[in-house]
Structure 1
Amino acid sequence: MRPPLDDTALDIAFREARTHYGFRDVTIDEATLRRLYDLLKWGPTSMNSQPARYVFVTSLAGKSRLLPALSEGNRDKAREAAATVIVATDTRFYEHLPSQFPDSPNARARFADDPARAADTAWRNATLQGGYLIVAARMLGLDVGPMSGFDRFMVDEEFFPDGRYQSNFLVNLGEGDPASLRPRGPRLAFDEVAEVV
């Protein structure tokens, strides 16, 4: 086994990580967003399927398209954040399997011929990749505020009108305003949620 990361890294990624509800007026350049993707892409997915797709909404024009789909309580958060990422699912992710999972020559057909299996695999793994995005952003020094309060159908109509991609959840990125933090909620204990068999 490798030695564990030091406490500073563990604090950044998890123990001291917080959901930010407000952000300072600081921008994120495209190079940082590319660096973020270049880190999160290494997180494992089933059959290396990589079904997540990302829209980094940073411009005023982009935000004006996104904000109407958000619940009232989420609009200011997204307006203030340097970027709001739409984490979406590619419903035809399997088209990339011949190059991304060449060990299984029939991988593409397995999903193309079974829409229910494809949808289940895509949703699960795109959600997992969204989690990687959150942790990777924190490791790069960004503050994060994931959100689910939005009209998915409005977002899909506005950003993915051909129907291939489907929005899953949103993640605000930027420099968080410490004044926006709420008291940290408790976490369930190991014995409440887990067992070793």
Structure 2
Amino acid sequence: MADTISDDALDLIFREARSYNGWLDKDVSEDQVRAIYDLLKMGPTSANQQPSRLVWCKSQEAKDRLAEHASDANKEKIRTAPVCVIIGYDIDFHEELPWLFPHTDAKSWFEGDEDGRIEGAKRNSALQGAYLMIAARALGLDCGPMSGVDLDGVTKEFFADQPRHRADWICSIGYGDKDSIFDRSPRPEFEKFNRIE
């Protein structure tokens, strides 16, 4: 069994981590973006699908374009973040399975079943988005996940040349401004929503 990580690391990733609404004026470099990806891609997905398609909006122009498709409450969170990531998915992720999952003919499992592919792509790209947040936090960055955007508009704006890709949600990444967070919302005890059988 693997060793456990330290309490400090668990605090950094989970217990003390927060969703930020504002950002310090501190850059996130391309090297940091690549380091986040190099960690998140190692998280497990079904048959190593790797369906997420990520657009890292780092330039002010890209963030402004993205903000145009956000609710009023989210526009500034996007514009002022060092990076805002569009977490999307590829409906035809199965085309990549011959090299991503070479142990068997996994591509054939999904051919002719677009509804099944969409279901699998959404589930597994959401997992990859969660890995993205864990990776960013592990590397000392903060996150501000958001779903208050016009996803059809974001898809048309950022995936116009990739018609089989869809935007699903977005996440700002940077160094969070502690003045921008609310008091922590309640978290349920185990017994509230769990059972062991």
Q: Same-fold call, TM > 0.5?
A: yes
Give, in whole Å, the separation in 2 of the partners of 1:189 and 1:10: 18
Establish whether residue 169 from structure 1 lines up as the match of residue 169 from structure 2: yes
Shift, 1:80, TM fit: 1.1
* CA-based RMSD: 0.9
Q: Is the partner of 1:69 in helix, strand or coil?
A: coil
1:73 aligns with 2:68: no
**Stretch deviating more after TM superposition (6-15 or 110-119):** 110-119
Q: Distance in 1 between matches of 2:25 and 2:2?
A: 40
Give the match for residue 121 of structure 1: 120
| CA–CA distance in structure 1, aligned partners of residues 69 and 177 of structure 2 | 24
* Aligned: 1:34 with 2:46: no
Q: CA deviation at 1:3?
A: 2.9
The residue aligned with 2:140 is 141
User: What TM-score do you get using the length of structure 1 for normalisation?
Assistant: 0.97
Where do 1:39-50 residues align within 5 Å? 39-50=39-50
Q: For 1:84-103, what aligned pairs fall within 5 Å after superposition?
A: 84-103=84-103
Partner of 1:189 in structure 2?
A: 189
| d(CA) in 1 for partners of 2:123, 2:41 | 16
**Structure-2-length-normalised TM-score:** 0.97
Q: Mark the runs of 5 or more structure 2 residues left unpaired by the alignment.
A: none
Runs (4+) off by over 2 Å: none
Cα distance in 1, alignment partners of residues 111 and 136 from structure 2 = 33
Please give the alpha-carbon distance, in whole angstroms, between the structure 2 residues aligned to 1:47 and 1:172: 28
SS at match of 1:19: coil
Amino acid at match of 1:178: K
Deviations 1:32-91 (A, max 9, x none): 100110011100000000101110001111112111100000011111110000000111
Report the residue type matching 2:127 in the other structure: L
Amino acid at match of 1:193: F
Q: Do residues 8 (structure 1) and 8 (structure 2) align? A: yes
| Counterpart-to-counterpart distance in 1, 2:6 and 2:31 | 27
Q: Matched residues in 2 for 1:56 and 1:86: separation?
A: 6
Hey, what's the Cα distance between the residues in 2 that align with 1:74 and 1:36?
Answer: 23
In the alignment, what sits opposite 1:130? 129
Alpha-carbon distance in structure 2 between the residues aligned to 1:103 and 1:10: 35
Number of aligned residue pairs: give it. 196
